[in-house]
A and B are shown apart, each in its own frame.
Chain A
Amino acid sequence: MFPFSFEWVWDAGHMVFHGGLWYALGIIGLGMTYCIGKAVLDTLEGKGGHHD
């Protein structure tokens, strides 16, 4: 649920619960974006191509 949803209420419950959820999803999303992005750049630079 997002703050622009009609059910949203600006109270501690919503902020704590959803804040925690977005915090965790944010770390997971940013972390994976970093890993995939860096892997693309590393691959374009020719790294990691000599493994068996």
Chain B
Amino acid sequence: MDSELIPRGVKRCPLGQFSLWIGIVGVVLLWGVYAMFLCWFKGLNQTNMNDSYGFALWIWADLAVIALGGGAFFTGFLRYIVGKDELKNIINYAVLIGFICYSSALLILAIDVGQPLRAWHIFWHANVHSMLTEVAFCLSCYFGVLTIEYIPLVLENRQIDKVPFFHNLGHNMHEIMAVFAATGAFLSFFHQGSLGGVAGVLFGRPFGYREGVLVWPWTFFLFTWSAAACGPCFTILITKITEVITGKKLVKDNVIDLLAKISGWMLATYIIAKIIDTWYWAVVTAPSMGFTLMEFYSNNPFYGIWILFLEIVLGGIVPAGILITQKGRSSSFALWTAVILAVIGVSVNRWVMVLQVMAVPVLPFETWPMYLPSWQEVATTILPVAYGIILIMLSHRYLPIFPQEQELNP
């Protein structure tokens, strides 16, 4: 039965071994589900969130996975709109990773809102002056787009494809995928940006506040830019990890090289813009509001100036420098280092713009509040990781995710 579902011409591990690993990851998943139900039934008192950390581990994880899932929209944009045909060999995996990231983000939000049954209120009673309304609209619609992009992959399963209707449906969806990809790019541009805009419009929080164009602070554009730059790095990283685990080459080097090169130039231009933004904020914006740069990075046990160095230098300049050079991309060690650092860089950026921005004292009598997430928060944040691993395992086993696998592993 199982072998009938596996794509033709590829080898997979025995069902017993596969089931064992699903079971191990499934235990972690169940731990997260248990914590999730605790939060739903007992409420947000299960968390260590407080007035200074209303945006806590969950919202950081949300923003981080949305940025890392940006590989789907940007790779889709390059493949279908720009016409980079080589990327057809990695677009399936980018879509899968994006689907996992966005469904995870929605899952975390469903826990965070406390009463998920009222989530529809944001659509029906929308506050049209809120960046987060736009995020909710675009996030939901884009998850729909990702689902539409993922469905044809499922329909390509050997047994499902035998059903004429499903075969025709998958074929038709492939035919107009460029329309969905363009819609996805449009939606992603706005929700990635609006997530950055949330911090940028906080004029009462000088750590996050930025000037900008019309209603859009600079952080709006920086968030979209960084997601487009670092999302593909995450796609490359997960592809490389999958290759190590399966012991097979799954995507040709020229495909990885192209994506890494584009990602590198996006990251290089982003980090230049980010440095200019940080410099202007440090010498003009923050002082105009009565703050010096070091006030944001001192007198607390956690948020030192190292976090700025980690985000911009290690997580930005270094990976960009590696990825824009042919020598850097062709070295396996350097490529691994670059994509890992880029992923860390964008995750630290989201951490800073979600947590540090709300924790920085703004009044003379305030002190730095600290925060340590509860085990329920940690478990529910690990839950999407376990879910993602299981979905990748199932998709890799039963769906033709990697078009070059057969050729690379005869």
- Partner-B contacts on A (CB < 8 A): 1, 5, 7, 11, 13-14, 16-18, 20-21, 24-25, 27-28, 31-32, 34-36, 38-40, 42-43, 46-49, 51-52
Contact A40 B180 (CB under 8 A): no
The answer to whether B409 has its CB under 8 Å from any CB of chain A is no
Contact A48 B171 (CB under 8 A): yes
Contact A42 B172 (CB under 8 A): yes
Contact B176 A34 (CB under 8 A): yes
Give the dominant DSSP class at B's interface.
helix
Within 8 A of A (CB), among B141-182: 141, 144-145, 148, 158, 161-162, 164-165, 167-169, 171-173, 176, 179-180
Of chain A, the residue at the smallest CB distance from B162 is A51
Contact B129 A13 (CB under 8 A): yes
Contact A14 B128 (CB under 8 A): yes
Q: Name the contact of A39 in the complex, choosing from B158, B169, B186 (C-beta under 8 A).
A: B169
Q: CA separation between A44 and B133, bound complex, in Å?
A: 43
The answer to whether B18 has its CB under 8 Å from any CB of chain A is no
Of chain A, the residue at the smallest CB distance from B169 is A39
Contact A31 B186 (CB under 8 A): no
Minimum Cβ distance to chain B for residue A47 (Å): 6
- Partner-A contacts on B (CB < 8 A): 123-126, 128-129, 133-134, 137-138, 141, 144-145, 148, 158, 161-162, 164-165, 167-169, 171-173, 176, 179-180, 183, 186-187, 190
Query: Given the complex, which residues of B lie within 8 Å of A13, measured CB to CB?
Result: 128-129
Query: Given the complex, which residues of B lie within 8 Å of A28, measured CB to CB?
Result: 141, 144-145, 148, 180, 183
Contact B162 A1 (CB under 8 A): no
Contact A48 B128 (CB under 8 A): no
Q: CA separation between A13 and B129, bound complex, in Å?
A: 7
Q: CA separation between A12 and B168, bound complex, in Å?
A: 42
Q: Name the contact of A27 in the complex, choosing from B128, B134, B137, B183 (C-beta under 8 A).
A: B183
Contact B137 A35 (CB under 8 A): no
- Given known pairs A31-B176, A35-B173, A40-B165, the reply for A21 and B137 (CB within 8 Å) is yes
Contact B168 A39 (CB under 8 A): yes
